[in-house]
């Protein structure tokens, strides 16, 4: 690599997709990683994706955990969000009930994480189903604003804003990374171990 | 000279038929060009070069012929093997139909039958054998299926008319739960083996799959519909008539391992995972250590495999062969299969980190070689320090209390 790459740090982040069944979690991951859309099989347990982003200031490696949506799996799989750096709370804009479920996920994450420990994005998927919309854009936006979440409406099918939401997450994570660094350097601490300090706890 | 050549390149080339005629074999069009004389408008090849080209060309033809001969031999061998396989399937069908099935009770656990069973049950008798092996401990009759189905249909009707509450015989399960279950069945049916195109709306087995899953949620409202079930029901439908598929489905789900998983009994599931790890360490110590080091717990890959009995993760023909032996050996074969998969890919898995192992195991390669796959499973010992699967499981259940 060039000298530029050598000084550019690499960050690995665990990103977890949460939300009701059939809101498009797997399709979002598939669109983002493979830039393609196909009908996904129902996820049983969890499936996994990886994506590398080469940004100007850093290389970002996403480890994406795509969890099962059915509530029955909750008791086995809810701990899959442990150690995550970011979470996408996905709902279906054509199904109001799924937004409520996303809100419940938020409450659960709040129990597990301090606000600065995790980046949370609220994602209203399936904008291609505009005719069947049950949740107004403003409603999602307003909820995200009051809770301090990133917000975007997407369509895994038409590829609308899928890259954008992951990019926004990457930017936010990097911003926080910088803030941490400056706090540490003010205290005269070293930044060298920062990257590896992220704990990786898993369930079961 | 260069300019002159390029300047003339647009002119029509001279006819080549006479050159073709001189060849005593029919070459492929691309290789033939080598022997072509240069177009009349270009200086002829020097004799030496022409000779060299002819020689090279002849060598290429010889090589090509050799290759063709080899291919032909390979095809012949494949054909012979296929005939042999078809013969042996034909023979197996006869054996199953004439010898084993009529004498099921006395024969099914004999060594000879067990061996034949391992080879894979021929598709034409598969459903019958599965039914017999799974049994009908629950004594479900075709009439009971009809009753459950009628009830399910009633619920669908009242759901679709947005109608009044269905009578509260399933007390303790909220209407919302049931509704979610029935809705979810609809969603999942279209997502079950989508590439077979038979369970989707308008497909020949769409209604059958819908009926069986709906009837089951009425038969066992305490279990309800759990994602993964649609795949199990679909595999049964492919091999059995509707009511028999329902009977096999309900009895299969009633087995201790399936009940533990489908009721999402976390404690019991952990016992199964722990028992699995005992045999994992015993059979594949190096890989086991690697997984431990990477914090890769068995739930990451086993949940999908056990819930769907491999029907979502393996090619369908292989999954059916796993089901064959699962029907013969019971739950321990599901875990033995898991270890067989890990063993088959041990070398590459040992070189991967957490996320890549997780990715690999939750999306296995589509072209699994079936013989190597079963050889790998056969090599797994389901004995740990003289203890069998059931004993290890019992010990761990005791520990967990």
The residue with greater pLDDT, B242 or B159, is B242
Terminal C-alpha separation, chain A: 40
The residue with greater pLDDT, B39 or B116, is B116
Residue B197 in this model has a pLDDT that exceeds 60: yes
Residue A201 in this model has a pLDDT that exceeds 50: no
Q: Are residues B230 and B352 both part of a single domain? A: no
Quick one: closest CA in A to B266, which residue?
A76
The pLDDT tens digits for B61-87 are 999 999 999 999 999 999 998 898 888
- Encoding tokens for residue B197? 């195109």
Question: Residue A195: what pLDDT?
Answer: 43
Length of chain A: 204
Question: Residue B206: what pLDDT?
Answer: 96
A91 CB-side CA count, 13 A: 29
Per the CB < 8 A criterion, the answer to whether A44 and A77 are in contact is no
B282 pLDDT band (50/70/90 cuts)?
Answer: very high
Per the CB < 8 A criterion, the answer to whether A84 and A17 are in contact is no
| Distance (Å) from the alpha carbon of B192 to chain A's nearest alpha carbon | 7
Terminal C-alpha separation, chain B: 94
Pairing state between β A119-125 and A46-54: unpaired
Q: Are residues B336 and B208 both part of a single domain? A: no
Residue B236 in this model has a pLDDT that exceeds 60: yes
Quick one: closest CA in B to A13, which residue?
B355
The pLDDT tens digits for B126-172 are 999 999 999 999 999 999 999 999 999 998 888 777 654 444 444 44
> What's the DSSP call for residue A160?
B
Question: Residue B270: what pLDDT?
Answer: 94
**What is the average pLDDT across B315-335?**
97
- Encoding tokens for residue B353? 């980190």
Pairing state between β A86-92 and A59-67: unpaired
Question: Residue A198: what pLDDT?
Answer: 44
**Does B187 sit within 8 Å of A70, measured CB to CB?**
no
Whether residue B108 lies inside any domain: the answer is no
Residue A188 in this model has a pLDDT that exceeds 70: no
Question: Residue B49: what pLDDT?
Answer: 86
- Encoding tokens for residue A175? 């911003």
Residue A18 in this model has a pLDDT that exceeds 80: yes
Reference A174, options A39, A8, A1, A2; nearest CA is A8
Query: Across the interface, which of A39, A41, A50 has its CB nearest the CB of B359?
Result: A50
Residue B43 in this model has a pLDDT that exceeds 70: yes
- Encoding tokens for residue B267? 């404690």
Q: How far is it, in rounded angstroms, from Cα A17 to Cα A105?
A: 11
Q: Are residues B210 and B270 both part of a single domain? A: no
**Chain B within 8 Å of A136 (Cβ-Cβ)?**
no
Consecutive H or E run containing B197:
none
The pLDDT tens digits for A106-128 are 999 999 999 889 999 999 999 99
**Domain count of chain B?**
2
**Chain A within 8 Å of B179 (Cβ-Cβ)?**
no
Q: Which of B254, B280, B310 is the last residue of a domain?
A: B254
Q: How far is it, in rounded angstroms, from Cα B184 to Cα A95?
A: 13
Per the CB < 8 A criterion, the answer to whether A80 and A201 are in contact is no
| Distance (Å) from the alpha carbon of B266 to chain A's nearest alpha carbon | 6
Q: How far is it, in rounded angstroms, from Cα B357 to Cα B365?
A: 13
**Chain A within 8 Å of B32 (Cβ-Cβ)?**
no
**What is the average pLDDT across A193-201?**
42
- Encoding tokens for residue A87? 């979470």
Q: What is the average pLDDT score of chain A?
A: 89
Enumerate the H helices of B95-174 as residue ranges: 104-107, 111-118, 123-134, 142-160
The CATH number for B357's domain is 1.10.472.80
Residue A149 in this model has a pLDDT that exceeds 60: yes
**Does A63 sit within 8 Å of B297, measured CB to CB?**
no
**Chain A within 8 Å of B352 (Cβ-Cβ)?**
no
Per the CB < 8 A criterion, the answer to whether B316 and B292 are in contact is no
Q: How far is it, in rounded angstroms, from Cα B159 to Cα B155?
A: 6
Question: Residue A183: what pLDDT?
Answer: 80
Query: Across the interface, which of A48, A76, A203 has its CB nearest the CB of B359?
Result: A48
**Chain A within 8 Å of B196 (Cβ-Cβ)?**
no
Q: Are residues B244 and B309 both part of a single domain? A: no
Question: Residue B60: what pLDDT?
Answer: 92
**Chain B within 8 Å of A49 (Cβ-Cβ)?**
yes
Residues of B in contact with A82 (CB under 8 A): none
Phi, psi torsion values for B398, nearest 5 degrees: -60, -45
**Chain A within 8 Å of B227 (Cβ-Cβ)?**
yes
**Does B355 sit within 8 Å of A63, measured CB to CB?**
yes
**Chain B within 8 Å of A22 (Cβ-Cβ)?**
yes
Task: Kindly report which listed range (A155-164, B154-163, B209-218, B344-353) carries the lowest average pLDDT score.
Answer: B154-163
The residue with greater pLDDT, B249 or A79, is B249
In the beta sheet, which residues pair with residue A14?
A: A63
Whether residue B105 lies inside any domain: the answer is no
| Distance (Å) from the alpha carbon of A150 to chain B's nearest alpha carbon | 26
Tell me how far CA of residue A38 lies from CA of A29, A67, A68, B229, B286, in angstroms.
Answer: 11, 18, 17, 22, 38
Q: Are residues B386 and B285 both part of a single domain? A: yes
Whether residue B84 lies inside any domain: the answer is no
The pLDDT tens digits for B207-220 are 999 999 999 999 99
Question: Residue A71: what pLDDT?
Answer: 86
Question: Residue B50: what pLDDT?
Answer: 85
Q: Are residues B312 and B227 both part of a single domain? A: no
- Encoding tokens for residue B88? 């042996």
Q: How far is it, in rounded angstroms, from Cα B148 to Cα B144?
A: 6
Question: Residue B156: what pLDDT?
Answer: 87
Q: How far is it, in rounded angstroms, from Cα A170 to Cα A63?
A: 12
What helix, strand, coil percent values describe chain B, rounded to 5?
70, 0, 30
Reference B172, options B212, B224, B215, B216; nearest CA is B224
Residues of B in contact with A72 (CB under 8 A): 224, 226-227, 264
* SS3 state of residue A59: strand
Quick one: closest CA in B to A50, which residue?
B355
Per the CB < 8 A criterion, the answer to whether A153 and A137 are in contact is yes
The residue with greater pLDDT, A139 or B183, is A139
Best of B197, B259, B299 to disrupt the A interface (most A CBs within 10 Å) is B299
Q: Which of B221, B254, B287 is the last residue of a domain?
A: B254
Q: Are residues B186 and B200 both part of a single domain? A: yes
B36 pLDDT band (50/70/90 cuts)?
Answer: low
**What is the average pLDDT across A134-157?**
97
**What is the average pLDDT across A165-172?**
98
Residue B18 in this model has a pLDDT that exceeds 60: no
| Distance (Å) from the alpha carbon of B95 to chain A's nearest alpha carbon | 38
Question: Residue B32: what pLDDT?
Answer: 54
| Distance (Å) from the alpha carbon of A117 to chain B's nearest alpha carbon | 21
Question: Residue B11: what pLDDT?
Answer: 47
- CA angle centred on B322, ends B318 and B323, rounded to 5°: 115
Q: Which of B254, B283, B299 is the last residue of a domain?
A: B254
Residue A7 in this model has a pLDDT that exceeds 90: no
Which residues contact residue B193 at a Cβ distance below 8 angstroms, ignoring those fewer than 6 apart?
B199, B231, B234, B316
Whether residue B37 lies inside any domain: the answer is no
Q: What is the average pLDDT score of chain B?
A: 88
Residue A52 in this model has a pLDDT that exceeds 90: yes
A10-176 has which CATH code? Answer: 3.40.50.300
**Does A77 sit within 8 Å of B308, measured CB to CB?**
no
Question: Residue B303: what pLDDT?
Answer: 96
Per the CB < 8 A criterion, the answer to whether A9 and A195 are in contact is yes
Residues of A in contact with B181 (CB under 8 A): none
The full set of domain ranges for chain A reads 10-176
- CA angle centred on B110, ends B105 and B113, rounded to 5°: 95
Q: Kindly report the number of other CB atoms within 10 A of residue B265's CB atom.
A: 15
* SS3 state of residue A35: coil
**Chain A within 8 Å of B269 (Cβ-Cβ)?**
yes
The CATH number for B144's domain is 1.10.8.270
Q: Are residues B220 and B279 both part of a single domain? A: no
Query: Across the interface, which of B194, B227, B298 has its CB nearest the CB of A70?
Result: B227
Q: Kindly report the number of other CB atoms within 10 A of residue A19's CB atom.
A: 25
Q: How far is it, in rounded angstroms, from Cα B219 to Cα B212?
A: 10
**What is the average pLDDT across B92-97?**
93
Whether residue B31 lies inside any domain: the answer is no
Residues of A in contact with B266 (CB under 8 A): 75-76
Residue A6 in this model has a pLDDT that exceeds 90: no
Reference B112, options B126, B141, B84, B92; nearest CA is B92
Q: Are residues B241 and B268 both part of a single domain? A: no
The ipTM assigned to this model is 0.87
Among A6-20, A175-189, B35-49, name the most confident range.
A6-20
**Does B295 sit within 8 Å of A44, measured CB to CB?**
no
Q: Are residues B279 and B235 both part of a single domain? A: no
**Does B187 sit within 8 Å of A72, measured CB to CB?**
no
- Encoding tokens for residue A156? 């895994």
| Distance (Å) from the alpha carbon of A42 to chain B's nearest alpha carbon | 7
Quick one: closest CA in A to B262, which residue?
A72
**What is the average pLDDT across B288-312?**
97
Question: Residue B248: what pLDDT?
Answer: 98
Reference A18, options A120, A139, A145; nearest CA is A120
Query: Across the interface, which of B187, B190, B300 has its CB nearest the CB of A46?
Result: B300
| Distance (Å) from the alpha carbon of A183 to chain B's nearest alpha carbon | 31
Question: Residue B210: what pLDDT?
Answer: 96
Tell me how far CA of residue A191 lies from CA of A6, A182, A194, B229, in angstroms.
Answer: 16, 9, 5, 49
**Does A63 sit within 8 Å of B362, measured CB to CB?**
no
Whether residue B74 lies inside any domain: the answer is no
Q: How far is it, in rounded angstroms, from Cα A202 to Cα B21?
A: 75
Q: How far is it, in rounded angstroms, from Cα B358 to Cα A34?
A: 18
Q: Are residues B201 and B225 both part of a single domain? A: yes
Q: How far is it, in rounded angstroms, from Cα B178 to Cα B216?
A: 12
* A96-112 and A137-147 helices, crossing angle to 10°: 10
Q: Kindly report the number of other CB atoms within 10 A of residue B129's CB atom.
A: 22
Quick one: closest CA in B to A62, which residue?
B355
Best of A48, A63, A201 to disrupt the B interface (most B CBs within 10 Å) is A48
Q: Which domain holds residue B189?
A: 137-162+172-254
Q: Are residues B356 and B250 both part of a single domain? A: no
Residue B399 in this model has a pLDDT that exceeds 70: no
């Amino acid at each position: 690599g060039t000298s530029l790459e050598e000084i550019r740090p690499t960050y690995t982040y665990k990103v977890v997709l949460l939300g009701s069944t059939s809101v498009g979690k797997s399709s979002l991951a598939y669109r983002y990683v493979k830039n393609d859309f196909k009908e996904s099989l129902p996820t049983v347990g969890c499936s996994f994706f990886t994506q590398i982003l080469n940004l100007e200031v850093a290389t970002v490696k996403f480890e994406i955990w795509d969890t099962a949506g059915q509530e029955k799996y909750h008791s086995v799989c809810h701990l899959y969000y442990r150690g995550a750096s970011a979470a996408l709370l996905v709902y279906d804009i054509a199904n109001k009930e799924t937004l409520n479920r996303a809100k419940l996920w938020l409450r659960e994450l709040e129990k597990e994480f301090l606000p600065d420990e995790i980046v949370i994005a609220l994602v209203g998927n399936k904008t291609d189903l505009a005719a069947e919309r049950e949740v107004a854009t403003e409603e999602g936006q307003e909820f995200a604003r009051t809770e301090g979440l990133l917000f975007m409406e997407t369509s895994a099918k038409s590829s609308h804003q899928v890259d954008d939401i992951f990019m926004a997450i990457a930017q936010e994570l990097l911003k926080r990374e910088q803030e941490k660094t400056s706090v540490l350097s003010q205290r005269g601490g070293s930044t060298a171990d920062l990257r590896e300090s992220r704990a990786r706890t898993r369930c079961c | 000279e260069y300019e002159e050549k390029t300047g003339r390149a647009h002119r029509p080339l001279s006819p080549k038929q006479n050159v073709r005629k001189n060849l005593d074999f029919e070459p492929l069009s691309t290789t033939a060009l080598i022997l072509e004389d240069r177009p009349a408008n270009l200086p002829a090849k020097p004799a030496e070069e022409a000779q060299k080209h002819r020689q090279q060309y002849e060598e290429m033809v010889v090589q090509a012929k050799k290759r063709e001969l080899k291919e032909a031999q390979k095809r012949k061998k494949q054909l012979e093997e296929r005939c042999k396989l078809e013969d042996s399937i034909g023979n197996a069908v006869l054996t199953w139909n004439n010898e084993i099935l009529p004498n099921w009770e006395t024969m099914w656990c004999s060594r000879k039958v067990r061996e034949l069973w391992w080879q894979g049950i021929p598709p034409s008798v598969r459903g019958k054998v599965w039914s017999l092996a799974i049994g009908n401990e629950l004594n479900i009759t075709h009439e009971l299926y009809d009753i459950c189905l009628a009830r399910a249909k009633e619920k669908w009707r009242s759901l679709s008319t947005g109608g009044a509450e269905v009578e509260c015989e399933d007390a303790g399960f909220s209407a919302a739960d049931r509704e979610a279950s029935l809705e979810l069945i609809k969603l999942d049916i279209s997502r079950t083996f989508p590439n077979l195109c038979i369970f989707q709306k308008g497909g020949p087995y769409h209604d059958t799959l819908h009926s069986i899953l709906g009837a089951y949620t009425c038969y066992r409202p305490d279990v309800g519909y759990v994602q993964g079930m649609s795949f199990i029901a679909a595999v049964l439908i492919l091999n059995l008539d509707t009511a028999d598929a329902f009977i096999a489905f309900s009895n299969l789900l009633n087995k201790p391992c399936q009940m533990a998983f489908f009721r999402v009994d976390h404690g019991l599931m952990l016992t199964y995972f722990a028992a699995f790890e005992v045999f994992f360490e015993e059979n594949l110590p190096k890989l086991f250590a690697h997984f431990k080091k990477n914090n890769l717990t068995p739930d990451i890959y086993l949940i999908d495999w056990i819930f769907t009995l491999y029907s979502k993760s393996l090619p369908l023909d292989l999954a059916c062969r796993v089901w064959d032996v699962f029907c013969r050996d019971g739950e321990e074969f599901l875990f033995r299969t898991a270890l067989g998969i890990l063993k088959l890919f041990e070398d590459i898995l040992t070189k991967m980190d957490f996320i890549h192992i997780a990715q690999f195991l939750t999306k296995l390669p589509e072209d699994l070689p079936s013989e190597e796959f079963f050889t790998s499973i056969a090599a797994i010992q389901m004995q740990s320090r003289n203890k069998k699967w059931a004993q290890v499981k019992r010990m761990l259940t005791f520990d967990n209390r």
